[in-house]
Every structure is written in structure tokens, then in C-alpha cells.
């Protein structure tokens, strides 16, 4: 037993030493970089804001972006592997909020610009209250230097309050008349794209983006206001916004040709955003509309949220399908069940089979769930030979990021091992100058 404990201790020491070495190299890379570091946080919209802001800035400068992986270790890796080896004008980093995570990330990043999209009750088991979430997000603003810039949502009281006591310049965006960058004339209704206007000082800019929902104006406005503040010309902002597509699994549109058209919104499903997705479907125009709802997250109280969601969804779509362990919580009436207005299906594979059996060409299907169900496989099965239908694979990344959705789940471990061996072999070849070992 003593030997086992000693081995565990030695492994822990080696792991801590590697972590300290990586952190040291990341700090050195940050100290040497002359880039303007931009941190983006918020309960929703931060990934789209980060990716779009990097896309807009890239129209006239060199940009490094860190999106999706929003932890301190992801930031450490980006600093070591990318920022350390290149001269960037801007580094845009998404900053996620776990308990006591934004402070260390802000200390390492030392941002010059902070963008906050919104504050909602997220990661409920960690934060418990909206105030705790706001306090965590505020740390990014407090990390700014006196010559820094905070770009805040004027329509969100919790975000707007971060301007109080800020030691740097503050710029706001939103629909409020008091916003420095005021948004108006927001319109969207699939298949028509999102359009809106942004007004600042004596200027007005009409913008269009290929998004299916009007609520995306918020992250798009946050990125647009940030880009304009950082000197991107308005004409570049407008032209590059038109070419920016929704991120994977975030209201991404997939048109299958002769089959359905899918809106894939399976990256997250916090309770505060469910009605936004349902409203998007109510405004859409299609031959038939169906909503597939999986796991809802980030809510306090009972699971009756599924019942409330169904009441709204049945008014927005011709059919509602519940999938997963909470599928039985819809409280759909017997009449809805018998007529087919509601379908309760426990597995994602069965949902996929059902939609293939009943699909109409050109119908619109919304896939809405937290990431754990990987509901995007329902849409992918129309364009790929999906063979991984594991109910709970435990992977946080989406199926396309994993890349193994065409491989049965029981074979994933072998494929991952093969990938590691291939990367190791590439590294050896690199060390040997491209020559194979003797």
C-alpha cells in the first residue's frame, strides 16, 4: 500500500510540475506579446461574439482567437502554442465562468478590452444566485487597466451595473436609448436572414447576417460595437458580417436537399433561452415545423419546466418531440399524444429513425438540447453514415469536433489511441527533420 501511495504521490508531483511549467511559459508568452488582448464573457452569446469579433478584426489586422474551450488551461495552451510563436495585433479569448475561474484567467490574460454580453442564472449548482454570477463576470471588467475599455450590455441591469466604479472607459450597446451603440429595426424569420441597424454618434449602419433568429442581434451587436470602437471601418464590418455563419450547433442551419431543413441548436439549452428558440420557430415559414426538445439545464425548482416548454412549443410547431430521460415530463394531453401532436421518444437513434420515416421535403426541424445528448446526430444522419448512437458518451465537445460519429462507440478508444500514435509519429519525424528513424 505504501508503494501505491508513493507512486500516486510521484505522479501528482510530476503533474503539478508540468502544470507549473506550462503556466510559466504561458506567462512569458503573454509578457512578450504586444497584441491587444480582448476577453469576452457572458451567460449566453460569448462564443458567437468572440468568433464574430475575431472575424471582423481579421478584415484589417492579424488575429488569434480562442473560442469554445473557455477554461484557463485552454488559455494557457493558446498562449504557449499560438501567441508565443506569432506576432498578432489582437487576441480574442472567450472567458467561461466556473466558480472562481474568471479571476485567474483575467490575471493571466491581462486584457485591454472586456466585453460582457449578459448575466443569467447559469451553472446553478455552482452559483445558486444571479448576483453570484454577476460578481464572477465583473472580475473581467475589474482586471482592465485605466486605459482599457469595457463594452457592456446596456439592456441588462446586472451588466450595466459593472460600469459603476470601473476605472476605465465604458461603452454600452443595446436597444436602450441611453446605449452608446443603439440597436433598432431588428427583424428575422427563417428563411429570411437577420437584419438590424446600429446607431452611434452621428452614424447609422444597416447590417445583415445569415442567422435564423432575431435574438442573435445581441452577440452580433456586441461584436460590431467592439470592432467599431477598435477602428474597423464600417464598410468592412458590414461586408464581413454578411459572410459570418452561425457556429456549429448554435442555431446552425443544415439544408439536406430533398429532405428536411434543420436548425441545430444543441450546444446548450439553459432554461432562460428556451422560449427564444421556440419564438424563432413561431416566426419561421416552412411547409411543416417540428421541434425536438432534449435536455434543459440551468433552472431552479422542479422539472415542470418541461411542461411549460411544451405548452409554448405546441403553439409554435405542428409537432413536438421530447427525447431523453425527461421526455415523460411534458404533461402532454392524451389528445395530443393520440393525434401525433406530441411524441415521446427516449433515444436519439429512435428520434432519427422516426424523422426519416415521417419527413416531408422542405419541412423545418429545430433540434434543441444541452450538449450531453448530442442531438445534432439527428441532422448529421441525413448527410453522413452516423454509426455512434451512444446515449451518454461523456464527451463535452460536439460530434463533429469529436470526429468519430461515423464509428461505433465501442471502437472509439482504439481510434483515439491510433490518433495519439499518429501525432507522436509526426512529432518524431519533425524532430528528425522529416527523416524516418533508423
Q: How do residues 79-131 score in pLDDT, each as one tens digit?
A: 887 777 678 999 999 988 665 588 888 998 999 999 999 988 665 556 678 88
Q: Hey, which of 36-45, 71-80, 120-129 has the most confident mean pLDDT?
A: 36-45
Q: Could you tell me if 41 and 188 lie in one domain?
A: yes
Looking up residue 301, the CATH number of its domain turns out to be 3.90.190.20
Q: Could you tell me if 203 and 264 lie in one domain?
A: no
> End of a domain among 242, 273, 299?
242
| 247 assigned to some structural domain | no
Q: Could you tell me if 48 and 166 lie in one domain?
A: yes
Q: Which of 143-157, 280-294, 422-436 has the lowest mean pLDDT?
A: 422-436
| 277 assigned to some structural domain | yes
Q: Could you tell me if 30 and 135 lie in one domain?
A: yes
* pTM of the entire predicted model: 0.87
> End of a domain among 195, 221, 242?
242
Compute the average pLDDT of residues 49-68. Answer: 92
Q: Could you tell me if 115 and 184 lie in one domain?
A: yes
Tally of domains in the chain:
3
Which residues have C-beta within 8 Å of that of residue 232, sequence separation ≥ 6? Answer: 56, 57, 59, 60
Q: Could you tell me if 294 and 231 lie in one domain?
A: no
| 377 assigned to some structural domain | yes
Share of the chain above pLDDT 70, in %: 93
User: What is the signed CA dihedral for 28, 32, 35, 41, rounded to 10 degrees?
Assistant: 20
**Cell for 422?**
499518429
Name the maximum alpha-carbon separation found in the chain. Answer: 74
**Cell for 67?**
473560442
Q: Could you tell me if 87 and 106 lie in one domain?
A: yes
Question: Given phi > 0 = left and psi -120 to 50 = alpha, else beta, which region is 340?
Answer: left
Q: Could you tell me if 269 and 170 lie in one domain?
A: no
| 160 assigned to some structural domain | yes
Q: Could you tell me if 224 and 363 lie in one domain?
A: no
Does the pLDDT at position 285 exceed 50? Answer: yes
| 359 assigned to some structural domain | yes
Compute the average pLDDT of residues 57-65. Answer: 92
> End of a domain among 223, 242, 261?
242
The domain of 430 spans 408-438
Q: Could you tell me if 233 and 357 lie in one domain?
A: no
Looking up residue 196, the CATH number of its domain turns out to be 3.40.1190.10
Q: Could you tell me if 73 and 182 lie in one domain?
A: yes
Q: Could you tell me if 15 and 145 lie in one domain?
A: yes
Query: Is the distance from CB of 254 to CB of 383 less than 8 angstroms?
Result: yes
| 86 assigned to some structural domain | yes
Q: Which of 8-12, 103-107, 175-179, 211-215 has the lowest mean pLDDT?
A: 8-12
Cα 138 to chain center, whole Å? Answer: 20
Determine the pLDDT at residue 122.
Answer: 65
What crossing angle do the helices spanning 102-109 and 130-142 adopt, rounded to 10°? 10
Determine the pLDDT at residue 32.
Answer: 87
| 209 assigned to some structural domain | yes
pLDDT tens digits along 154-210: 999 999 999 998 999 999 999 999 999 999 999 999 999 999 999 999 999 999 999
pLDDT-based confidence at 315, cuts 50/70/90? very high
Query: Is the distance from CB of 225 to CB of 52 less than 8 angstroms?
Result: no
Return d(Cα 301, Cα 285) in angstroms, integer. 35
Compute the average pLDDT of residues 417-434. Answer: 74
Amino acid at each position: 500500500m505504501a508503494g501505491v501511495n508513493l507512486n500516486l504521490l510521484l505522479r501528482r508531483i510530476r503533474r503539478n510540475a508540468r502544470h507549473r511549467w506550462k503556466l510559466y511559459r504561458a506567462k512569458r508568452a503573454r509578457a512578450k506579446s504586444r497584441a491587444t488582448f480582448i476577453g469576452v464573457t457572458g451567460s449566453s452569446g460569448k462564443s458567437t461574439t468572440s468568433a464574430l469579433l475575431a472575424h471582423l478584426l481579421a478584415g484589417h489586422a492579424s488575429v488569434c482567437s480562442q473560442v469554445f474551450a473557455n477554461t484557463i488551461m485552454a488559455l494557457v495552451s493558446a498562449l504557449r502554442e499560438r501567441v508565443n510563436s506569432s506576432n498578432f495585433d489582437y487576441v480574442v479569448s472567450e472567458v467561461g465562468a466556473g466558480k472562481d475561474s474568471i479571476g485567474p484567467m483575467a490575471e493571466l490574460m491581462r486584457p485591454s478590452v472586456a466585453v460582457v454580453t449578459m448575466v443569467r442564472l447559469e451553472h446553478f449548482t455552482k452559483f445558486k444566485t444571479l448576483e453570484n454570477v454577476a460578481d464572477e463576470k465583473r472580475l473581467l471588467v475589474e482586471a482592465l487597466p485605466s486605459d482599457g475599455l469595457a463594452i457592456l450590455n446596456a439592456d441588462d441591469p446586472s451588466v450595466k451595473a459593472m460600469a459603476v466604479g470601473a476605472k476605465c472607459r465604458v461603452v454600452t450597446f443595446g436597444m436602450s436609448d441611453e446605449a452608446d451603440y443603439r440597436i433598432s429595426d431588428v427583424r428575422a424569420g427563417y428563411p429570411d436572414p437577420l437584419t438590424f441597424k446600429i446607431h452611434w454618434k452621428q452614424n447609422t449602419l444597416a447590417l445583415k447576417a445569415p442567422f435564423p433568429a432575431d435574438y442573435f442581434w445581441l452577440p452580433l451587436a456586441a461584436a460590431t460595437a467592439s470592432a467599431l470602437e477598435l477602428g474597423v471601418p464600417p464598410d468592412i464590418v458590414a461586408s464581413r458580417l454578411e459572410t459570418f455563419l452561425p457556429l456549429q450547433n448554435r442555431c446552425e442551419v443544415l439544408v439536406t436537399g430533398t429532405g428536411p431543413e434543420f436548425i441545430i441548436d444543441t450546444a446548450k439549452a439553459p432554461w432562460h433561452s428556451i422560449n427564444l428558440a421556440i419564438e424563432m420557430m413561431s416566426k419561421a415559414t416552412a411547409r411543416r415545423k417540428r421541434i425536438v426538445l432534449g435536455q434543459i439545464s440551468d433552472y431552479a425548482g422542479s422539472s415542470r419546466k418541461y411542461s411549460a416548454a411544451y405548452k409554448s412549443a405546441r403553439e409554435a410547431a405542428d409537432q413536438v418531440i421530447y427525447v431523453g430521460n425527461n421526455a415523460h415530463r411534458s404533461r402532454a394531453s392524451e389528445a395530443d399524444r393520440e393525434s401525433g401532436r406530441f411524441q415521446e421518444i427516449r433515444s436519439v437513434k429512435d428520434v432519427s429513425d422516426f424523422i426519416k420515416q415521417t419527413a416531408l421535403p422542405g419541412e423545418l426541424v429545430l433540434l434543441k438540447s444541452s450538449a450531453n445528448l448530442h442531438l445534432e446526430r439527428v441532422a448529421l444522419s441525413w448527410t453522413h453514415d452516423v454509426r455512434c448512437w451512444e446515449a451518454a458518451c461523456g464527451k463535452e465537445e460536439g460530434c463533429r469536433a469529436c470526429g468519430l460519429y461515423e464509428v461505433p462507440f465501442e471502437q472509439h478508444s482504439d481510434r483515439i489511441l491510433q490518433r495519439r500514435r499518429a501525432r507522436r509519429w509526426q512529432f518524431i519525424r519533425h524532430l528528425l527533420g522529416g527523416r524516418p528513424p533508423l
